Amino acid sequence: MSNPVHFYWNDPSYARQFRTGASLHSHTLHSRESMDFVPRLARRMPPLRWQAGLFPARFERAHGIPFVFEKGWWTPPLDMAGACALESGQIEKFGLRPMVSLTDHDAFAGQAGMSSVELTVKLESSILHLGIHNLPPKRANEVLAYRAHPAGLMGWLSQLPHVLVVLNHPLWDEGGSEGATHRCVVERFLARYKRDIHALELNGLRPWRESETVMEMAKAWGLPTVSGGDRHGFEPNANINLTNAETFDEFVDEIRRWRMSSVLFLPQYRILLAVRVARNVLEVLRDQPDHSLGWRRLQDRVFYETQPGVVRSIAELLPGGIQWLVPGLVPAIAKTSA
């Protein structure tokens, strides 16, 4: 199994051995980014706790029903064309031909020729994220029906020969469970579905010490590791895969069949992670005057399901907006990434 990890700043010439750079795991405005992290952060951060308590109270006064954070989500600013251009442009600067797989949360960006998704799977006390790349476009939406049924999901995916299944940021639990508890859930998941998981992700927005542990885990399970930048804003992915594959099908075959993967960490990864995260959060929260759908303000890009199948923006539900979150949210998220 060939599974090297390289750092651009140690050897800028290394990438010249390859023809193609693959950008995996990044998000567009179609992505449904859950707001259920807000009350979890608020419990640990007193200033945010006060701010997070104001919004549900305002909502209930206005609409007569409780506000449930789990029913809300925010969306990243870039559309498919903008995301592809950002990721491709970075790869081309290194003299490589770009391949980009956009993986929105529980939704599809409508990328031409290929459909990929980051699927949320709730398992025991944890939340797992599966990066599912290169789904046949005509069958892509079928995968969403399996979110609550991991056994059915993995069985269905195993029938698709050119699909790449990656366990994204395996040691980070969105649900906030303790590290040891979450790792036990991940280990049980791998024990049951190892044949259907093709790689573990080295996430470009997680600490390096966590990536080192992921590499140890991958070695123990006989799995390769792949890149995953996890871009939500305007900073392109901080790592990419290097390959000589001409097509994404060939790239998948390298990983699935030959367990070959070469990950390159790029210069921005050297910037202090808390600084990168804070900058990315600010980019997402600020006004977007050039937004392709006209969702200029933050409240235009945050949505809530008021009843099954009925979705409205926060701008419609509370014209006063959601800017109250910004002062406490940025430092709280940055602190959790350290």
**pLDDT of amino acid 329:** 62
**What are the φ and ψ backbone dihedral angles of 117, each rounded to 5 degrees?**
-155, 150
Contact status, residue 99 vs residue 23, Cβ threshold 8 Å: yes
**In sequence order, what DSSP letters do the residues of 256-290 get, joined into one string?**
HTT---EEEE-GGGGS-HHHHHHHHHHHHHS--TT
**Structure token digits, residue 232:** 């939500």
SS3 for 96-158, per residue? CEEEEECCEECCCCCCCCCEEEEEEEEECCEEEEEEEEEECHHHHHHHHHHCCCHHHHHHHHC
Compute how many other C-beta atoms are within 10 angstroms of the C-beta atom of residue 5.
16
> Looking at the predicted structure, is the pLDDT value of residue 40 above 80?
no
Burial class (CB in 10 A: 0-12, 13-18, 19+), 2: exposed
pLDDT band at 324 (very low <50, low <70, confident <90, very high): low
Separation CA 284–CA 181 (nearest Å): 31
**pLDDT of amino acid 175:** 67
Average pLDDT over residues 209-238: 97
Q: How far apart are the first and last CA of the chain?
A: 32
Separation CA 60–CA 67 (nearest Å): 6
Contact status, residue 171 vs residue 186, Cβ threshold 8 Å: yes
Q: At what angle do helices 150-157 and 179-193 cross, to 10 degrees?
A: 50
> Looking at the predicted structure, is the pLDDT value of residue 89 above 80?
yes
**pLDDT of amino acid 111:** 66
Average pLDDT, the chain: 90
pLDDT in tens, 256-275: 999 999 999 999 999 999 99
pLDDT band at 178 (very low <50, low <70, confident <90, very high): low
Separation CA 227–CA 292 (nearest Å): 28
**Structure token digits, residue 156:** 């269905």
> Looking at the predicted structure, is the pLDDT value of residue 338 above 60?
no
What strands, in cross-sheet order, belong to the sheet with 115-123?
104-105, 115-123, 126-135, 164-168, 199-203, 225-228
**pLDDT of amino acid 99:** 97
Separation CA 211–CA 80 (nearest Å): 28
Separation CA 298–CA 182 (nearest Å): 32
pLDDT in tens, 192-221: 999 999 999 999 999 999 999 999 999 999
**pLDDT of amino acid 41:** 75
What strands, in cross-sheet order, belong to the sheet with 20-24?
5-7, 262-265, 239-243, 20-24, 97-101
* Percent of the chain with pLDDT strictly greater than 90: 67
Where residue 106 falls (left for φ over 0; alpha for ψ -120 to 50; beta otherwise) is left
Reduced to 3 states (helix: H, G, I; strand: E, B; else coil), residue 321 is coil
**pLDDT of amino acid 325:** 61
Q: Which residue has the tokens 């559309």?
A: 79
